[in-house]
Amino acid sequence: MSLVPFDDRDGKIWFNGKLVDWRDAKIHVLTHALHYASCVFEGQRAYGGEIFKLTEHSQRLHESARILDFEIPYSVAEIDQAARDVLAANNLVDAYVRPVAWRGPEQMGVAAQKTKVHVAVAAWEWPSYFTPEARMKGLRLNISKWKRPSPECAPTKSKAAGLYMICTLSKHAAEAAGYDDSLMLDYRGQVAEATGANIFFYKDGKLHTPKPDCFLDGITRRTAMELA
Ligand SMILES: Cc1ncc(COP(=O)(O)O)c(C=O)c1O
């Protein structure tokens, strides 16, 4: 894995409507999102220059923000175009694309109605999280002590940055114990998902996957179900 810090790279980032130099895509330390997790994001991959299910991702970004009570000031089509522009500006063909939207520094405190909503899209070459050898051998998952919360306790349908603290804690504990990733159960003790992916089980010629009623309904999950 590359150790070049993510704030010190060459290239362009789409930042509030403009392509800016990578190192200039900065935010202030008193940004609301940094303190109160008012931030949503996406993660999508480009293969051979085409972004897989691009519009579904941009739509989900909009929906995630709406669930967190903010409106993205760019249309789905504009976010789609921003992702394509970023790919082209960085001469990327096979890459990971990261749109992110957050409440800015205009207001501090829990209430944040007066903040502006900012949007950025970055892209970089990011190989699969696991090496091909590890995947062929099979990945080992522990069971996290953290549970996915009930939809009454968190905005579980949103790809909200705040929900990822549970994933980071689970993943750290798994790696510290020699596992590749962690399987998180939900608040009822039922199988939910891994820290950055949905999960499927293959048994007796059938695929099984939990209903996403308290965690992300992944676009990959939906695609796998269409193909199965
Ligand atoms: C916690 C979590 N669940 C599920 C997924 C799968 O979502 P998708 O297939 O839409 O990328 C992700 C992907 O980032 C994730 O982080």
pLDDT in tens, 151-182: 999 999 999 999 999 999 999 999 999 999 99
Compute the distance from residue 202 Cα to the ligand 1 centre, in Å.
Answer: 19
Q: Kindly report the protein residue whose alpha carbon is nearest to atom 7 of ligand 1.
A: 218
Q: 99, 124, 149 — which closes off a domain?
A: 124
Please name the amino acid found at residue 29. Answer: V
Domain-embedded: residue 179: yes
**Is there a catalytic annotation at residue 159?**
yes
CA distance 56 to 62: 10
pLDDT of residue 2: 53
Structure confidence at residue 102 (pLDDT): 98
Check whether residue 170 and residue 117 sit in a common domain: no
CA distance linking residue 186 with residue 150, whole number of Å: 7
- Give the Cα separation of 14 and 82 in Å (integer): 6
Closest-lying ligand 1 atom to the alpha carbon of residue 44: 11
**Owning domain of residue 66:** 12-124
Q: Which two tokens stand for residue 87?
A: 């790919």
Residue 72 is assigned to a structural domain of this protein: yes
The tokens of 45 are what?
């991959």
Share of the chain above pLDDT 90, in %: 93
The mean pLDDT value of the chain amounts to 96
Query: Starting from the edge strand earliest in sequence, which strands make up the sheet with 181-186, in order?
Result: 141-148, 181-186, 191-194
Q: 141-148 and 181-186 as β-strands: parallel, antiparallel, unpaired? A: parallel
pLDDT reported for residue 48: 96
Q: Are 57 and 44 in contact (CB under 8 A)?
A: yes
Q: Pick out the chain residues at pLDDT < 70.
A: 1-2
- Whether 218 and 115 share a structural domain: no
Per-residue pLDDT at 95: 97
In the numeric block, which tokens belong to residue 173?
A: 């504990």
Question: What is the predicted pLDDT for the residue at 10?
Answer: 97
In the chain, the N- to C-terminal Cα span, in Å, equals 32
The pLDDT assigned to 118 comes to 98
The number of C-alpha atoms within 13 Å of 144 and in the hemisphere containing its C-beta is 28
Structure tokens at 90: 């960085």
Does any ligand 1 atom lie closer than 6 A to the CB of residue 196?
Answer: yes
